[in-house]
Homo-oligomer: A and B are copies of this chain.
Amino acid sequence: MTERVVLAYSGGLDTSVAIGWLGQETGAEVIAVAVDVGQGGEDMDEVRKRALACGAVESIVVDAKDEFADEYCLPAVRANALYQDRYPLVSALSRPLIVKHLVEAATYHGATTVSHGCTGKGNDQVRFEVGAKALAPELKVIAPVRDYAWTREKAIAYAEEHDLPIDVTKKSPYSIDQNVWGRAVETGFLEDIWNGPIEDLYSYTSDPAQQRDADEVVIAFEAGAPVAIDGKPVTMLQAIQQLNVRAGAQGVGRIDMVEDRLVGIKSREIYEAPGAMALIAAHMELENVTVERELARFKRGVDQRWGELAYDGLWFSPLKQSLDAFVMKSQEAVTGEVRMTLHAGKATVTGRRSATSLYDFNLATYDEGDTFDQSMAKGFIEIFGMSSTLANKRDQSLAGE
């Protein structure tokens, strides 16, 4: 029986030529799997047909938009996942989902190998391969671009030679990855980190400097999950999509940063993630209202590690699973509404209300109705500061000697 390779197929040049090339090099049949994570652009059926035209024995399109929103983006909201306090893990979140569908296709079709189009200096190769091994340790992996130093020039030549149905003339000066959670742009003139981004880079967001009216939105959460926008129930996917439109129209969610890649180098990245950034901002403030202080303080460290693991391709790792258990438990009371103003590139919280609020007007107010017993403070301060005070006293007596 002929060996089979399942290829993560995007419809672009690299993975289109990989179909024929993989078959040629390995003698295997190639099955193309394209996963719809809301990347937009081409019709997915066009993508499916192109794979067949390029020689795939089977071409599969998976609509994973809801799954992506529910199982990957929602946990990221609950963990306020911002790598380096900034990056909402756009590509990092989609890779384990794509891997899952690759592995499912490999199992279903009896393939022994999976393949992806990543280079050897990025994070995605790690996410693909560590993810694939997590789900199916016995699968082999081929990454033509990396393992065979397959360049764009070679790819174009191959496509022309084999008359593949790809327009090799159009080339973006940037490398772009996008899905419903956001969009990542790199390379080109951005590789000079003193160069500022230009308006042309952006597609999910309008220019924040353009004058326009502000948009006010009320997002309702239950146990850390967005469940309604302006009073209308939404799925997680709808929440992201609606906020991509509304926050995007206001220029919200642009990010320009130098980032620490897992492979040890720093790279310059431009992101836009209007829905993601609005949801995380709202969620953080609702946590401020509903999560107890010590839990909130510790959770910051958990959130950071969660984001690092997702970034580093360790989505299916044991630590990630235990952190998830912590995060889920912490979210039980993160229920309520947050009102935000979307305007000029900012999503600003202006109000919050919650039946599970820990904000207690009667304790907080300085006006009538104050129930806080101020006489408690003296004892608190004395004992709270004691260990430090004793050390200061010791240090002074030493310094005085």
Chain A residues with a Cβ under 8 A of chain B: 84-85, 119-121, 125-126, 129-130, 133-135, 137, 146-147, 149, 175, 187, 191-197, 208-209, 211, 214, 254, 256-260, 262-268, 284-285, 288-289, 291-301, 304-305, 308-309, 313-314, 316-319, 321-330, 333, 339, 341, 343-346, 348-353, 355-361, 363-367, 370, 372-396, 398
Assembly CA distance A351 to B364 (angstroms): 43
With most chain B CB atoms within 10 A of its CB, the pick from A299, A309, A313, A330 is: A330
The distance from the CB of A401 to the nearest CB of chain B, in whole angstroms, is: 9
Between A and B, 21 residue pairs with Cβ closer than 8 Å are: A84-B288, A85-B284, A125-B377, A130-B381, A137-B392, A149-B374, A193-B357, A209-B214, A263-B377, A264-B386, A265-B363, A268-B364, A292-B319, A298-B322, A316-B388, A321-B329, A333-B395, A333-B398, A357-B394, A375-B379, A376-B383
> Would you call B381 and A339 a contact (CB within 8 A)?
no
Contact of A133 among B129, B325, B358, B392 (CB under 8 A): B392
Q: How far is the CA of A356 from the CA of B343 in the complex (A)?
A: 36
Q: Report B-chain residues with C-beta under 8 Å of the C-beta of A305.
A: 298
Query: Do A364 and B191 have beta carbons less than 8 Å apart?
Result: yes
CB distance from A241 to the nearest CB of B (A): 24
Known: A130-B384, A137-B392, A318-B292. Is A266-B360 also a contact (CB below 8 A)? yes
Contact B350 A196 (CB under 8 A): yes
Contact A134 B351, beta carbon cutoff 8 Å: no
**A349 with B256: CB separation less than 8 A:** yes
Q: Which of A265, A318, A398 has the most CB of B within 10 A?
A: A318
* Nearest B residue (CB) for A175: B366
Query: How many copies of this chain?
Result: 4
Q: How far is the CB of A86 from chain B (nearest CB, A)?
A: 8
Chain B neighbourhood of A392, CB < 8 A:
133-135, 137, 316-318
**Contact: A390 with B360, CB < 8 Å?**
yes
A308 to B363, CA, bound (A): 22
A373 to B344, CA, bound (A): 42
The docked-state distance in angstroms from the alpha carbon of A361 to that of B192 is: 7
Contact of A120 among B135, B375, B393 (CB under 8 A): B375
Nearest-neighbor residue (CB-CB) of A328 within chain B? B325
